[in-house]
Amino acid sequence: MRHPELLIPAGSLEVLKIAVIYGADAVYIGGEAFGLRAKAKNFSREEMREGIDFAHARGVKVYVTANILAHNSDLAGAKQYFEELKEVGPDALIISDPGIFAIAREVLPEMEIHISTQANNTNYGTYLFWHGLGAKRVVSARELSLQEIREIRDHIPEDLEIETFVHGAMCISYSGRCLLSNYLTGRDANQGACTHPCRWKYALMEETRPGEYMPVIENDRGTFIFNSKDLCMIEHLPDLLDAGVDSLKVEGRMKTALYAATVARTYRKALDDLAESREKYQENLEWYKQEIGKCTFREFTTGFFYGKPGTEAQIYGNSTYVKNYTFLGIAEQTDESGRLLLMQRNKFSVGERIELMKPDGRNLEVTVHSITDLDGNSQESAPHARQMVWVDLGAEAERFDILRREE
């Protein structure tokens, strides 16, 4: 059995650190240019250096996205950007555009290059093409079945790695190459500025009756005709490993630290159990499913892995997430009395029962005994967004523990 890498997204330095602590083998991030998540916080050069140092000190790799579909005006800047990355030292670049690939090979000849899913990698001929140019890894198109991935593995060299999305949002367009955002808003999804119009509610208007909007309804279920469910393969990891996948990729560079921690910890536990035995993995399936449901999601599907999805892979009634837990904060440090310091992310109050989420898999139910501001003043609640407060939970707390509340 293969022992795959667990690859977690990080849209900020805080999320990178949480992903590392909660079980990632590797983290992928975007710089301030050339990535496909322009609305993410992304990383300055200094933050990228700090994040890479933090990850490397704990044996975790960091990959940097440069996977836009480039225009002429992007090429000169790409060369300068890659020159800057020499000093920062990521473990690999994620690229989709052949022109950007060529520049990266010229500027960073020793750097690993991974071919993004944006390059529409749907057959072993494509994998062999990129391998011949020096790529170390190819990210499979999301439209591939497990049978197709297994066939690719059978036709490519063992040292060419297959990376596959296993969890997160599904794009309505082929391998994420979408023109809808650009057409409707002028913001190009292929340049990192997607406005996600696939999640919008649509109506129908007949040409000769302008202003008369008719709802688009399928069997009275709703009007969100492009709104796909989220991918989740936590119950099917043996099939992915048997197909020859080397890296299990989670989508979500726009997501919170709570999301990164929840997904990373759950998949880490599942992979470790599976490495020990398939029986142990099967015994703990209910725990994995319960835990993965504690982060925000839009119902789950297995995507294309077991055949082309039908109408059951869409959500017609609304575009909202299922949200079972609220993120309250991350323990940034503790004092001699056992209190923890955190930045408030959502309101909580003295006397509330909340959950302390730990990297080792434990969830401790605790009570908020006291809240104190940095000047030593007691508070009955923490209502001010991003306020730094000391919190006494009457329980063992450590740096990077996460506070969350069940809704």
Per-residue pLDDT of the chain (407 residues; tens, 9 = 90+): 568 999 999 999 999 999 999 999 999 999 877 765 555 557 889 999 999 999 999 999 999 999 888 889 888 889 999 999 999 999 999 999 999 999 999 999 999 999 999 899 999 999 999 999 999 999 999 989 999 999 999 999 999 999 999 998 766 665 666 667 776 787 776 666 777 776 677 777 777 888 887 666 555 555 555 667 889 999 999 999 999 999 999 998 888 899 999 999 999 999 999 999 999 999 999 999 999 988 766 677 888 899 887 665 555 555 555 678 899 999 999 998 889 999 999 999 999 999 999 999 999 999 999 999 999 999 999 999 899 999 999 988 999 999 999 98
**How confident is the model at residue 63, as a pLDDT?**
98
Q: Which domains does the chain have, with CATH numbers?
A: 5-171+229-305 (3.20.20.70), 325-406 (2.40.30.10)
**How confident is the model at residue 36, as a pLDDT?**
52
Q: CA–CA distance from 60 to each of 21, 237, 251, 401 (Å)?
A: 10, 21, 18, 19
> Residue 387: CB partners within 8 Å, gap ≥ 6?
343, 344, 373
DSSP structural state of residue 297: B
CA distance 297 to 286: 18
The number of beta carbons lying within 10 Å of the beta carbon of residue 14 is 18
**How confident is the model at residue 266, as a pLDDT?**
97
> Residue 133: CB partners within 8 Å, gap ≥ 6?
101, 105
Q: Which sign does the torsion angle of CA 242, 247, 253, 257 carry?
A: positive
**Termini Cα distance of the chain:** 39
**Beta strand ranges found along 212-339 (DSSP E):** 213-215, 230-232, 247-250, 300-301, 325-330, 333-334
Q: Which sign does the torsion angle of CA 231, 236, 241, 247 carry?
A: positive
**How confident is the model at residue 233, as a pLDDT?**
96
Cβ 42 vs Cβ 7: under 8 Å: no
CA distance 372 to 374: 7
**How confident is the model at residue 188, as a pLDDT?**
72
**How confident is the model at residue 181, as a pLDDT?**
72
Q: Could you give the angle at which helices 98-107 and 72-88 cross, rounded to 10 degrees? A: 40
* Predicted structure pTM score: 0.85
> Residue 219: CB partners within 8 Å, gap ≥ 6?
none
Q: 183 has which bridge partners?
A: none
**DSSP of 128-167, one letter per residue?**
HHHHHHT-SEEEPPTT--HHHHHHHHHHS-TTSEEEEEEE
* DSSP reduced 3-state for 62: strand
DSSP structural state of residue 314: B
CA distance 111 to 123: 25
**How confident is the model at residue 230, as a pLDDT?**
86
